Chains A and B, each alone.
Chain A
Amino acid sequence: DAKTTQPNSMESNEEEPVHLPCNHSTISGTDYIHWYRQLPSQGPEYVIHGLTSNVNNRMASLAIAEDRKSSTLILHRATLRDAAVYYCILRDRRDAGNMLTFGGGTRLMVKP
């Protein structure tokens, strides 16, 4: 299964943009890139996903490299509520049984 690599932790100042990187060099053509985030003692929540093109929603933007071997989650203005663990995972569009293993993710700390 294709895997992802993320930095263990990152820091940001409040109200500044945050770029969270994810490497997925073994991604296949049928893998979607999903991002989730998990607040302390809560279940993860969906943030954004994409296949080839960059994506925007109310929470964040997803920038996908042209070769799809890496992607970046962009939080345009970090708030204290964005402090969480962010997971980048791959989901094969052909198979719901190809299940998501969430690695350690990136712990984002936001400083006031």
Chain B
Amino acid sequence: DTEVTQTPKHLVMGMTNKKSLKCEQHMGHRAMYWYKQKAKKPPELMFVYSYEKLSINESVPSRFSPECPNSSLLNLHLHALQPEDSALYLCASRQELAGGGETQYFGPGTRLLVL
């Protein structure tokens, strides 16, 4: 099973709201990712958690706050977002392969609209 789940599927929020995105995987992967994807563009990396510690922050504005409560769960807390933050937010988990190599498995995404 290579399933990554994300909730909610769709989210509409005002610029003063606080909301959270949730991502779960039960594949035993120890690295999890948040990506932002705008229309007709490839995903842009935002954050990487490895062994529940933040290992990469791609200079993301502080209105996005990631959290990794345990190895299966990843949250993205949103506060005071701007309309330009409207996008598809993708979560992924990383499988390390014996003998080298790795593979990322993506969730279905959360479509966020900021009004």
- The answer to whether A and B interact is no
A residues whose Cβ falls under 8 Å from a Cβ of B: none
